[in-house]
Amino acid sequence: MAMDINGLNSSQANSSKARNGQKVVSSPVSQPDESNNPAKPSGETVRISAEGQTLNRISKDIDSETPVNQSRVEALRAAIADGSYKVDAQATAAKMLESDSLF
């Protein structure tokens, strides 16, 4: 995953490069002139990797979907309320171990 950020905190990056013996090239970052065009870009660029873009798209998809089965939730609430819901300890333990192996 790569992220390319130019012109942000360049003095710190330049001093780090200089300590490591790398060539430091200073390029001025233009400041936006608010009187002419407030939306004019300042010369700084940010490039988001393909993985980052995919994660952003997936995040938006998840936020827009409703993954809750409301009828199932209501059935479980009713079963808990009337005392007919019984917890299967073996199944619960198996699922906990299964999910633990993902980490």
- As a whole number of angstroms, the distance between CA 32 and CA 101 comes to 51
What band does 69 get if pLDDT is binned at 50, 70 and 90? confident
DSSP state of 40: S
Specify the pTM: 0.31
- What one-letter code names the amino acid at 55? L
Place of tokens 């979907």: 65
Taken in order 16, 22, 26, 31, the sign of the CA dihedral is negative
pLDDT at 5 over 70: no
Q: How confident is the model at residue 82 (pLDDT cuts 50, 70, 90)?
A: very high
Q: How far is CA 12 from CA 4, 18, 24, 45, in A?
A: 16, 10, 11, 17
> pLDDT exceeding 70 applies to what percent of the chain?
58
